[in-house]
Amino acid sequence: MSKWKKILVSILLTVGIIFLFSPAIKNAIIDGKIDKTMNRITNDLKQADLYNNRKNNNEKTEPVHDLPSELDVLKSLDYEGNPVAFLYIPSTNLQLPIYGAVNNESLLHGAAEMKDYNTLGKGNYAIAGHRMRKRGLLFHDIPRLNIGDVVYVTDKDTVYEYKVNSSEIIKEDETEVVAERGKDEITLLTCDIPSEPFNRVAVKGDLIGSFQYSDDFISNSNKK
């Protein structure tokens, strides 16, 4: 093995050890990737880009790890993804990209749609997210939402406004929570306890309105 190959292997091993033993670094990397994607969505991507991402979505739905490890983060460093929308919750100041399929990579970089949707604002819009141990990271704060809290989802064309009306703990196999119920609503699904991901928290909200997207909609919504 050449000298440079030995150096490269040593560097990779060192980086791997750091990841394996430092949850703080894991959380910082996830935060950084989310911030980068949100900046790209809000500043660079247009509505047509998000529409094309949905239309040409090649993300695959795959089984996910309930407790993502530092190694999972390391494996997903190259993930770019193609967001189809984004989520904003004023009460927790959560802003997340939304991807078109649930898999290990998408859930480490935002939230993900649990079904195929051609458009937003119709039927039961079900999205999943990891409940991390760090407050404010991914879906950690979803179980803390209160009745009446507002959830916004937008594709940069229209902003859909939902009001939380229920929050309940369900079993992992209670998939009927994402079934259609004859009305327009949102379902946010995450683990109950990050270290014991056997149950799920399902937060639901009714669609109460929609309005045209503008670049200052987040700041304007904070004034309500």
* Residue numbers annotated as active site: 130, 191
Given a contact cutoff of 8 angstroms between Cβ atoms, the answer to whether 177 and 202 are in contact is yes
Torsion of CA 114, 161, 124, 72, to 10 degrees: 10
| 47's tokens | 């509505």
Please count the CA atoms within 13 angstroms of the CA of 141 that sit on its side-chain side: 17
- The secondary structure element, H or E, covering residue 168 is strand 158-171
Task: Tell me the C-alpha distance between 106 and 109, whole Å.
Answer: 5
Given a contact cutoff of 8 angstroms between Cβ atoms, the answer to whether 140 and 131 are in contact is yes
Task: Tell me the C-alpha distance between 51 and 85, whole Å.
Answer: 9
Given a contact cutoff of 8 angstroms between Cβ atoms, the answer to whether 211 and 159 are in contact is yes
Three-state DSSP class for residue 217: helix
| 133's tokens | 């141990």
Q: Determine how β-strand 124-128 pairs with β-strand 185-193.
A: parallel
